[in-house]
Amino acid sequence: METTFCPPVEAEAATPALTLADVQRAFTRLDLPAGDLVIQPPDGTTLVNFDTNFFTTSTAPLSRTVTLLGQQVTIEATPSRFRWNFGDGKPLTTTDPGAAYPDLTVTHSYQRAGIYRASLDTTYTGRFRVGTGAWRSIPGTVTITGATHELEAIEASPTLMGY
* Rounded alpha-carbon distances, angstroms, from residue 146 to 17, 32, 117: 36, 11, 11
Question: Looking at residues 41-49, what average pLDDT do you find?
Answer: 94
Query: Residue 15: what pLDDT?
Result: 63
Strands 149-154 and 45-47: parallel
Judged by DSSP in three states, 118 sits in: strand
13-29 burial, b for 16+ CB within 10 Å, e for fewer?
eeeeebeeeebbebbee
The alpha carbon of residue 135 and the mean position of all alpha carbons in its chain are separated, in whole angstroms, by 20
Q: Is the CATH number of domain 20-154 2.60.40.10?
A: yes
pTM: 0.84
Model confidence band, residue 156 (pLDDT cutoffs 50, 70, 90): confident
